[in-house]
Amino acid sequence: MTDVPSYLKGYDDLYAKDPRDAARKWFAEARYGLFMHYGLYSLLGRHEWVQLKEKIPVAEYAKLKDDFTAENFDAEAIADLAVAAEMKYVNITTRHHDSFCLFDTKETDFNSVNSPCGRDLVGELAEACRKKGLGLCLYYSHGRDWKHPHAPNNDEWGGSARPDYDPPEPTYATGDDHDLQIYLDFMQAQITELLTNYGPLAAIWLDGIAVPASGNASLFKCQELYDYIHAMQPQVLVSYKQGLLGTEDFQAPEHKAVEDAGKPMEICTTMTPKSWGYLAEAEGQHQTADQVWDTIKAAREGNCNLLLNTGPLPDGSIDEYDEKTLRAVGERLRKEGFPGE
């Protein structure tokens, strides 16, 4: 009999018949997950879009890798927190728009293993989630990349595709030299690594939808990518925010529900106002336990999951206030159940 992924225990019979159907049922019943935005931007504490907002040159921004230690990133503790919070899955930014990767990749040296950290953080989290029976969802920046030479550029894909550097960034391919297919091949190779090296995954969670949606989205060949992902791991669910093609397995809009497309929906929101990554100036302004409860209630009233984000501190540790809040909410969930159920 085929081994059932640890997060799908209890769905064994359905998994044997249709792994993706089992995963959809699990997802609909999971209700609640932990999101984490962590990367080089965390070291600055000025928003995960700091490179674009402050127009930090690519070479200058890349120097942050030399200070990335993640000395207090503790995958076991993160998984334990998710369990204590009554969450059923964890999602981490494997690669955000700045293109820095938290996993061991052969496609670029711009990664955590090739930094003072010297560790594969995604690998550590995958093992911790497997032990705890948590689903592991992997965020991957698809439509937007501020480092790769052949990623979508502002000339074709609008102003938010790249930082608007003046003078222009010399490493960006432009005009006839620009080849989007090179970038698409890079992404598929990395997603292949994620699907190959970290055991059964619950979801591939794509971000950057505004870029392909601003032009000819067919150039991104997303349906081919979705089919490839499902062929690699049949149980893996695919999302692309609120839905780029409409063929995604679930919708994942920010902060509030969108028009129901007849499929599961997960609202993602953050405990930090105005930012997903660590924001130093937001200290003391994070969601309280009562606010989180109300957020869960609103999601459940819409029959949506809630993916609740915390931005780990520069050293990789979870914000103490957020941890206290999540544990308090988890205790209330154990006592009262999910609101409205």
Inter-helix orientation angle 320-336/289-301, to 10°: 50
The predicted pLDDT at position 64 comes to 98
Number of folded domains in the chain?
A: 1
Residue 341 domain-assigned (yes or no): no
CATH of the domain at 90: 3.20.20.80
- Asked if residue 21 is part of any domain, the answer here is yes
How many degrees, rounded to 5, is the angle at CA 144 between CA 138 and CA 146? Answer: 110
Assess if residue 64 is contained within a domain: yes
- Parent domain of 239: 6-336
Whole-number pLDDT of residue 235 = 98
Q: Is residue 1 part of a domain?
A: no
Please write the tens of the pLDDT for every residue from 176-198. Answer: 999 999 999 999 999 999 999 99
Per-residue pLDDT at 156: 83
Taking only the tens place, the pLDDT of each residue in 216-234 is: 999 999 999 999 999 999 9
In a domain, residue 245? The reply is yes
| pLDDT tens-digit readout, 36-46 | 999 999 999 99
Structure tokens, 242: 């609120």
CA distance 74 to 80: 10
Averaged pLDDT, 235-254: 97
Taking the whole predicted model, whether its pTM rises above 0.85 is answered as yes
Asked whether residue 239 is domain-assigned, the answer is yes
On whether the CB atoms of residues 139 and 129 are closer than 8 A, the answer is: no
Q: How confident is the model at residue 148 (pLDDT cuts 50, 70, 90)?
A: very high
Q: How does pLDDT run across 150-165, given as a tens digit for each residue? A: 999 988 887 679 999 9
Asked, for residue 193, whether it belongs to a domain, the answer is yes
Tell me the per-residue pLDDT of 268-281, one tens digit each, with 9 for 90 and over.
999 999 999 999 99
Nearest to 144 by CA among 51, 81, 229, 232: 51
| pLDDT band, residue 1 (cuts 50/70/90) | very low
Residue 159 lies in a domain: yes
The total of other beta-carbon atoms located within 10 Å of residue 236's CB is 24
Question: Across all residues in the chain, what is the average pLDDT?
Answer: 96
Encode pLDDT of 99-114 as tens digits.
999 999 999 999 999 9
The pLDDT of residue 81? 98
In residues, how long is the chain? 341
